[in-house]
Amino acid sequence: MASSQYIVRQIATLLKFAKTTSDPGIAAALVEKATNLKDRIDETLPAPDVGSRAPDVEPTA
């Protein structure tokens, strides 16, 4: 699988092309492809661990 940085660059390129085209169908297809790539990145990222705290952080009451 391609690195996430590569995919982010591809997403940016697709969105740039979507902005410059005058054909709404092509623009919609490019945006949809960018969205699909974004979803692919989101699926591969681990879920954030919101429950842990650094060991030196005191709990607040």
> What is the DSSP secondary structure assignment for residue 3, as one 8-state letter?
-
What's the pLDDT tens digit per position in 9-44?
999 999 999 999 999 999 999 999 999 999 988 877
43-61: pLDDT as tens digits: 776 666 666 666 676 666 6
**What is the value of pTM for the model shown?**
0.66
Which of left, alpha, beta for 27 (phi over 0: left; psi -120 to 50: alpha)? alpha
Where helices occur in 4-59 by DSSP H, the ranges are 4-20, 24-44
Residue 3 has pLDDT above 90, yes or no: no
